[in-house]
A and B are shown apart, each in its own frame.
Chain A
Amino acid sequence: MLYHGYTFLVLDHDEINAFATPGGHIFITRGMLALTESEDELAAVLAHEIGHVAMRHGLGSIRNARVIGAVQDGMFDALDTLSGQELAEVTAVFGDTTADIVDTLATRGYSGATERQADAAAVNILLRVGYDPYALVRVLERMDAAQQAQYEGGQEKQGFSKTHPRPQSRILDLEQTDLRNVEAGSRVDDAESGRRFGSTVRSF
């Protein structure tokens, strides 16, 4: 539910990752920001996360049926007057719900199918706003290279490689479907977006 609209925050962390809550809070790490090389690429990452929110992917991960029970019992009416045992019980439901969502966002990841849906949504958004949809492919290629470097360095999976399917498979999907009829290089590479990307994003 996009009660506050979409909101965005940079996380001060080197790990390469970005994620979104079902309520529209979108987080991007400093590591992911550093991986992007243009405003179009940053837009592609954020558009992908907006895709997850718009398609309500996070909500599907809530396994606890007690949340729905609480709503049906009209507990919204009484939420402000809860105390003692009742408050503890509802807080536990809140905790379980939060844990389910965080588990999906940060630990298990969305399924490959939902990642592809979010990629398709991102291409749609980029085209409508006027950004280069191939920026998504470029950023995925760079993520793939970073993942390969991790493997070769003998590191354990971390960040996006734990929660996302191989970038290469997503690139193939994009090229065979959403980008099939989209001409590459149609966007005028504008000096102004390069300037403002350099002066603002690089300050992180």
Chain B
Amino acid sequence: MRTVLLVTLMLVALFVFAVDAGDPLFVQVRDTELRSGPGFLSPIQDRLGFGQELEYVAERSGWMQVMVTETGVTGWVHAAAAKENRATQMQLQGEQTARTVTSREVALAGRGFSENIEGEYGNQNRVDFSRVDELETRRVDPEEIVSFVTEASLREDFLKEAE
């Protein structure tokens, strides 16, 4: 658990974007939070799911200010959670046009392929994905991240809202 904590707090850096105001973006992760400010400790305004459409407003220190297309609510998402991505658009169309595609399958397509293909591959090659599935369900409480950072005198500034 500690290892998970340690690295969860390292996700802050590294994402640089080249998008213009008004450009469409799509949520690229299973779920994420829309926050009132550009920081991990800013209050949560809404929860966003995979494929949800956003409109880019501005960027600050690894966070993007966006407007949620569906609701018109404006807030901040971490830059790693949304991208301008053609593949996502296709998956979205799949969700809207083909009634047979469930949201779970659209979500799995976000991993590249679907559950039946993963199952077929697993059977052919005797691969057991259960530990990976378990790994993917782990979540770290933001409060645990804060105490992990503060108790060991790490930098707290990256958790706070960017100036």
Which residues of A pack against B, CB within 8 Å? 1-10, 23, 25-26, 28, 39, 42-43, 46-47, 50-51, 54, 67, 71, 74, 76-82, 87-88, 90-91, 94-95, 97-98, 121, 124-125, 128-131, 188, 190, 192-193, 196, 200-201
Which stretch in B17-25, B39-47, B67-75, B109-117 binds the other chain? B109-117
Beyond A77-B98, A128-B155, whether A1 also contacts B14 by CB under 8 A is no
Q: How far is the CA of A51 from the CA of B121 in the complex (A)?
A: 29
* A128, B6: Cβ atoms closer than 8 Å: no
- How many chain B residues sit at the interface, stated as a range, is 35 or more
User: A128: which of B13, B15, B121 is its contact (CB, 8 Å)?
Assistant: B13
> Which residues of chain A are near B131, meaning CB under 8 Å?
9
* Closest chain A residue to B111, Cβ basis: A3
* B124, A91: Cβ atoms closer than 8 Å: yes
Interface positions, chain B 3-58, Cβ under 8 Å from A, are 3-4, 6-15, 28-30, 50
* A80, B10: Cβ atoms closer than 8 Å: no
* A79, B116: Cβ atoms closer than 8 Å: yes
Beyond A4-B30, A43-B6, whether A80 also contacts B100 by CB under 8 A is yes
27 pairs, CB–CB < 8 Å, chain A vs chain B = A1-B112, A2-B80, A3-B110, A4-B30, A8-B3, A25-B132, A25-B135, A43-B7, A46-B10, A50-B11, A67-B112, A74-B94, A76-B90, A76-B94, A77-B101, A78-B98, A88-B120, A121-B13, A125-B12, A128-B12, A128-B155, A130-B149, A130-B154, A188-B153, A192-B153, A193-B154, A196-B151
- Say what secondary structure dominates the interface of chain B: helix
Q: How far is the CA of A55 from the CA of B153 in the complex (A)?
A: 29
Beyond A1-B111, A42-B6, whether A124 also contacts B14 by CB under 8 A is yes
Q: How far is the CA of A51 from the CA of B153 in the complex (A)?
A: 24
* B105, A79: Cβ atoms closer than 8 Å: yes
* Closest chain B residue to A53, Cβ basis: B14
* A125, B13: Cβ atoms closer than 8 Å: yes
* B3, A42: Cβ atoms closer than 8 Å: yes
> Which residues of chain A are near B130, meaning CB under 8 Å?
none
* A43, B121: Cβ atoms closer than 8 Å: no
Beyond A1-B110, A25-B135, A128-B12, whether A87 also contacts B120 by CB under 8 A is yes
* B6, A3: Cβ atoms closer than 8 Å: no
Q: How far is the CA of A61 from the CA of B88 in the complex (A)?
A: 21
* B136, A7: Cβ atoms closer than 8 Å: yes
